[in-house]
Chains A and B, each alone.
Chain A
Amino acid sequence: DIQMTQSPSTLSASVGDRVTITCRASQSISSWLAWYQQKPGKAPNLLIYKASSLESGVPSRFSGSGSGTEFTLTISSLQPDDFATYYCQHYSSYPYTFGQGTKLEIK
């Protein structure tokens, strides 16, 4: 099975900061990677698919990059609504797996 490792587990930042979250796959997944945002008590929301494609309706301050085994999610200028938990997930082949999550906190 493909393992997904996210870093950091927790990130403290301020409104207006540029932040980057990293996700590593244990083997190549080409670009079959998605990023999600989850707020407490809510279902996750798809932000990025195929590593770098922005889901419809998602603000352009979110961007994704990478291929193979190394991927990043970048938020260019943090807004108050962005403080949440973020997950990466591969969909290269079953079984799909998620990263352990990155909690983005207000500094």
Chain B
Amino acid sequence: EVQLVETGGGLVQPGGSLRLSCAVSGFTFSSNAMSWIRQAPGKGLEWVSGISVRGDRTYYADSVKGRFTISRDYPKNTLSLQMNSVRAEDTAIYYCAKDLKGFEQWGQGTLVTVSS
């Protein structure tokens, strides 16, 4: 069974940092590109960041470029998103997803709230 489980969400102050993780099982992590997608409360979906199969290419939405860093750990089958200099507008549910034919598998999401 394919599983993607996000952790690391929570309350963070503006300007602070947070690291999200996504533990993957049930498919070959090392053979798939991966992405993070977020959804602000009551809003639509926004692609945030993607990483290639080998991890040598990373991609970011303009809204997070220079602040967020995506990475992957092959032995641990884990995708990560390091969020720095967070802003109120980063408040959202963050989903990790298997990036193959569109996003064919999603995690359940982890909520990040940026507030003082």
Contact = CB atoms under 8 A, between A and B. Distances in A.
A100 B42 CA distance: 12
Interface of B (DSSP majority class):
strand
A89 B102 contact: yes
Contacts of B46: 98
B104 A55 contact: yes
B45 A87 contact: yes
A53 B46 CA distance: 23
B65 to A, nearest CB: 9
Chain A residues touching B, range? 20 to 34
Interface stretch (A20-28, A43-51, A66-74, A75-83): A43-51
Interface string A33-70: 11010100001111001100101000000000000000
The 5 closest A-B pairs by CB, nearest first: A34-B102, A49-B101, A94-B59, A43-B106, A96-B47
A66 to B, nearest CB: 15
Nearest to B101: A49
Interface in B29-64: 35, 44-47, 50, 59-62
Q: Place the interface of chain B in its size category.
A: 20 to 34
Contact of A96 (B44, B50, B106): B50
Contacts of A43: 95, 106-109
B103 interface: yes
A101 B61 contact: no
Contact of B101 (A38, A44, A53): A53
A53 B60 CA distance: 27
Interface string B77-92: 0000000000000000
B102 A94 contact: no
B44 A100 contact: yes
Nearest to A90: B102
Nearest to B104: A46
A73 B104 CA distance: 17
